[in-house]
Structure formats: structure tokens, C-alpha cells
Amino acid sequence: MPNLERIAVTGGNGFIAAHIIHQLLTSDYAKYKVTATVRSRQKGDAIYDLPNAKERLSLQIIQNLSQANFAGHHAVLHLAAPNFTDAKNDARLEIVDPAIQGTIAVLRAAKQSETVKVVIVMSSLRAATEGPVVGAKIDETMWNDTSSLKQNPLFYSKVCAERAAWSFMVENPDCNFKLITLLPSLVIGPSLTKALGETNAIIQAIVTGAIPFRVSLSMPIVDVRDVAATFVAAVEYYETVESGRYLVANDHTSSVNEICDWIAVKHSELNKVPTKSASHCVSTLITYTRKPGYGSAMRYSMVPNGVYDGAMGFDITTEKLRNALPALPPFRTVRETIEATVQDMRMWGHI
């Protein structure tokens, strides 16, 4: 039996968090007891159908992470965070401040518990870079220093929250736990609940023709099941994994053009998948037809200088992660992930 038996997961009903909880509850490594923080019983019900949930899943229903209590827990996985839809009027009040405050609240609660051995925070690739970096490998030494309250505030919130976490550790050297931040790229894949996640909505928009052309975007996709497996592996091997930042990404970055080809070949019945490519200029114009947060994120996933090959610019190295977690299985191919996502959206009635 490992040292870590009781695991807390914040934002437990979320897209990625639900997969983490599922893998913890079905682990062959240990019979983990999981506490999920959620904002309502209704949100908690969405994950109570998971295997072994009735025996080993408990809910902590709180409106604010400052109310979190991790007494008796051994690991805390922090995934609760603002998203695009939270940005309505004031980016600082609605996205950036909550991201920082939530992260600090989790670290404070972990420190107060005196039993927590590791806190794993989900950051983002966008905390390392705002967009493609042509001619250089993206690694954990990089920080996104271009996003701001006015330019991609969600990306900016990821930077601010992660920096705040590391500052907390410096200011609190007496913490008994280590801090690990995981920086996944674009996370898509099958969902364990009916909710259509923000990232899967991108694939839905392609399949349904809501994006009418093949726009010149880079898509650094990683499967949600592989991201969840990385969190679980970091729990299982926490004693040997060093505190630090770890990029979580697939070896292959796809273009929208490539994704459209895969879907069209595999699913000829989905006849709204775009067939014509848009120039860089038209691609940019199309982003302005999307919701502001989504559109801006799309523009900063475009390859600079109008180069059409959407796979350029996101050359991400995960060597640090693989060295830290050698037992972590190879990630699914992007093609496998796209296929699973399409099938899942069809099952839930999203397409």
C-alpha cells in the first residue's frame, strides 16, 4: 500500500478532473479514497456514477476554495480554475484574481493539513508560451511574458496563478509538501459527463461546419486520458518526482487541415467538415466570428508570417516529464484522440 491513500481533487466535476478521479478509483496500484470539491450536489452527482464512487468518493461542497479542508489527505490535485466563459466584463475580477486566489487557498489548506505530501497544480502550456515559437523547442524554462489582462487574459491567469504558487513555496519554506505543476497542451478526448468541454467544442465546430474553412492553426493536442494518467503517475511516484514544472503534450502537433482530412476519411457521413483551406488573412478574419476569448486564443495559435503548415511553431519537448515518470505509458496518437472525441460527441448528441 502506498503512503498516499486519501487524495483531494478540486473542481471534481470538470472534464479533466473526472478522468483523474475515474483512474484513481479504478487503480490497480491502490484503493484510493478520493475527495472531490464541487460547488453543488448537482455537480457532484455528475461523477457519482463512476466505478467505486459510492464506496470511495466523497464530496466537499464549497463555494470558494478558501473553505477547502484537506485534513487527513495525502495529496491534493488542484484543477479548479476559471475558463473562457467566466470572462464577461472584467478580466481581472472574473478570471485572473480567482485563479490566483484559488491556487493560494489550496496551498494554504494543504499546509494547514500537515498530512499533505504533494500538491499537483494544473497549469497550462500557455503559461510557457502564448503561441507558436518557430525555430525553437518549447520547454519548462519558458514563461509566457506577452499575455495580459487585455490580450488573452485566460492565458495570463495561468501565468499569474502558477507564479503565485511558486512564490508561495519560496515564502513558506516550512511546507511539508512538494509542489508539482503540470502544463498540458490542448486537452481533448472522450468525456465522462454529458457536458461539452470548451476544448472539445473546437472539434465540434470543425465537424458541424461552424468553422467553414480549414484555418491555419496549430493544434498541440493531448488526450484527456493521458493527462489524467500523468496526474495519477505523479501521485504514485511522488517520492522520486522532483518539485518543478512539467510539460504534458503529444509528440505530434497537428494542423486543422490534417484533422479535417482524418475526420473526412473516417466519417464521410459528416459532410459539413470543411474542405477548402483559408489563407492566413481569411483565417484571422474567421477568428473574429467566434466568441472573444475563443477567437483570441485561435489567433495566437496561428503560425506566424502566414505560413500555412499549422504543425509549425509548437515543437514541444516532454523529455523532463519522461525522465521523471519513466513508467508513464506512451501517449495516444492525435488521430486516436480525434476519433475517440468524434465518437464520444456523437454518443452524447453533440454532433
Q: Residue 112: which of 77, 71, 74 has the closest Cα?
A: 71
Asked if 135 and 195 touch (Cβ cutoff 8 Å), the reply is: no
Catalytic residue among 31, 33, 158, 178: 158
In the residue annotation, 178 being an active-site residue is answered as no
Q: What is the DSSP letter of 248?
A: E
For residue 294 the three cell numbers come to: 475563443
CA distances from 128 to 71, 137, 170, 272 (A): 32, 11, 20, 35
| d(C-alpha 341, C-alpha 165), whole Å | 32
DSSP codes joined into one string, 112-163: HHS---EEEEE--GGGT-SS--TTSEE-TT----S--SSS-HHHHHHHHHHH
Kindly tell me the sign of the dihedral angle through the C-alpha atoms of 120, 81, 24, 66.
positive
For residue 43 the three cell numbers come to: 455537480
CA distances from 182 to 78, 89, 123, 158, 233 (A): 10, 29, 6, 11, 12
CB atoms under 10 Å from CB of 234, counted, come to 22
Q: Residue 30: which of 4, 50, 63, 12 has the closest Cα?
A: 4
Catalytic residue IDs: 158
